[in-house]
A and B are shown apart, each in its own frame.
Chain A
């Protein structure tokens, strides 16, 4: 029993992206004892994922300030830990892939900062080597994949596309085109809204200036990724004309979807696919807060201020937290503007052909799904969503294609080896251990 690893934190934060770091720093500066868990090898989340040689990243002042604040707060960061389930009475378990060990954590207050992932929509050829997520390719470049000299088409939707294209170009890639499915009028409306967020407008303008020789096509989307063994080109359309851009790589993502799996497992209520929170970022579950993208896709500034509010509130500094509500609400309004500006056009639901793979884990094709009445039937009859990603990629796709909702989240929320589960402590052992704490 004494060998079972079990750690207590007054405040436990899941996720070390901007929202989680801001929450941890605020809580720690209010005197709370805080621990932060993250799946990635280091802190920063996806937007501040550090690179092999971080030439460009060092110039990001918000990142530098937030990470410095976090380090100065002396909060402990436990990286390389993936949350797999929740146990009895305010415990959760993580799996450390490096060692194969399952650890148990217990908390008084829990802050979920689990971020978002890209939305992928199936179209012919999207499983070819050479096709990546947009943020996905950027992350892989930060992980040391060189795109120097590669011809790249960036396609899909969302503000991420421009940022990714600009960074890939800085890394030596030739950006052939940026294809944004949202129409010009909706983009212009969004740009007008940005006048009240001048910093964001400036950032967009900087990316656009970096890409001044690259065609940025609004109202334009990919229909086929062409190639046999690997990608050779992308067929794009604007609804009237269809043409092929030859390229080596396609970076394609359709905005973001929230990572709400752990919140749902804990019993947190959702509203419109997002974790419902009160003004202090508290969820429907006692002592559980949620910050950043799982509460609504609104970007970096929203994540930082929400994190700070939850960190202060969890450390019983509600009055200080209240001073930040106005700024948070402004950022949330920006997020709603994003949702409207980059809403998916209906044509995107018609890209998959009968033999197009929808579920990449189980290679389930569109034709197999068409006759299914629901997500549950699709899972039972075709194994769609039953593979290692547990429906994280095909779930949002079938929601867009067929309107199916992913209803069942069951532990473990990520696949782990049976050997690790077997050697981990049981619930009754955890309860006994808690009593001795």
Chain B
């Protein structure tokens, strides 16, 4: 059974300035992946998203509520949270 079929509360977050709806408790990295938006742009300009999923590789780091370098795979979304691709 797909996990997203379970009833959960929906919240609104901002992803690169666009308002989107996600289930409460969803990791911020999942919001980036679902929207196909990179978490960060690498030092030579490549788009990167989460790799290890457990807070080790730091490929999922992004700017969250204005603070850079947040590991989005360890960070649950909260209502009103602002996620931005980090370059």
Interface, chain A (partner B; CB < 8 A): 39-41, 46, 49, 51-56, 80, 82, 97, 117-118, 120, 127, 129-133, 135-146, 148, 170-172, 229-230, 259, 357, 360-363, 387-389, 392-393, 415, 417
- Is the pair A39, B55 in contact by a Cβ cutoff of 8 Å? yes
Are the CB atoms of B73 and A52 closer together than 8 Å?
A: no
Is B29 interfacial (CB-CB < 8 Å)? yes
Given A136-B50, A362-B43: A144 in contact with B56 (beta carbons within 8 A):
no
Alpha-carbon distance A80/B69, docked complex (angstroms): 16
Give the top 10 A-B pairs by smallest Cβ distance, nearest first. A139-B53, A144-B26, A53-B6, A143-B27, A136-B53, A145-B30, A144-B30, A388-B58, A363-B44, A172-B2
**What is the predominant secondary structure among interface residues of chain A facing chain B?**
loop
B78 to chain A minimum Cβ distance, whole angstroms, is: 11
Is there a chain A Cβ closer than 8 Å to B52's Cβ?
A: yes
CA–CA, A146 and B33, complex, Å: 9
> Given the interface contacts A39-B74, A52-B23, A360-B48, does A143 sit within 8 Å of B30 by beta carbon?
yes
Query: Which of the residues B1, B33, B36, B51 comes within 8 Å of A131, measured between beta carbons?
Result: B51
**Given A140-B73, A171-B3, 9 more pairs with CB closer than 8 A:** A41-B76, A133-B51, A140-B33, A143-B26, A144-B3, A145-B27, A357-B46, A415-B58, A415-B69
Residues in B neighbouring A52, C-beta threshold 8 A:
3-4, 6, 8, 23, 25-26
CB distance from B37 to the nearest CB of A (A): 9
Q: Chain B residues near A140 (CB, 8 Å)?
A: 27, 29-30, 33, 50, 53, 73
Residues of A within 8 A of B56 (CB): 117, 259, 389, 392-393
In the complex the two chains form, is B52's CB within 8 Å of A129's CB?
Answer: no
Contact across chains for A55 and B3 when beta carbons are under 8 A apart:
yes
Which B-chain residue is minimally distant from A253 (CB atoms)? B52
Asked whether B52 lies within 8 Å of A53 as measured between CB atoms, the reply is: no
Q: Which residues of A contact B46 (CB under 8 A)?
A: 127, 357, 363
Q: State which of B25, B36, B58, B73 has its C-beta within 8 Å of the C-beta of A129.
A: B36
Judge whether A171 and B2 touch: CB under 8 Å. yes
Q: Contact check: which of A46, A127, A139 meets B48 at CB < 8 Å?
A: A127
Identify the closest chain B residue to A393 (Cβ).
B57
A54, A132, A387 — most chain B CB neighbours (10 Å) = A132
25 A-B pairs in the complex with CB atoms less than 8 angstroms apart: A39-B74, A52-B25, A82-B55, A117-B56, A127-B42, A130-B49, A132-B53, A136-B50, A136-B54, A140-B27, A140-B30, A140-B73, A143-B27, A143-B29, A143-B53, A144-B22, A145-B29, A145-B34, A146-B2, A146-B3, A146-B4, A146-B34, A363-B42, A389-B57, A415-B58
A144 with B27, Cβ < 8 A, contacts A363-B44, A363-B46, A415-B69 known: yes
**Most chain-B CB neighbours within 10 Å: which of A97, A130, A392?**
A97
In the bound complex, residues from chain B placing their C-beta under 8 Å from that of A130 are: 49
Least CB distance from A259 to B in Å reads 8
B82 at the interface (CB under 8 A from A): no
Q: How far is the CA of A41 from the CA of B56 in the complex (A)?
A: 14
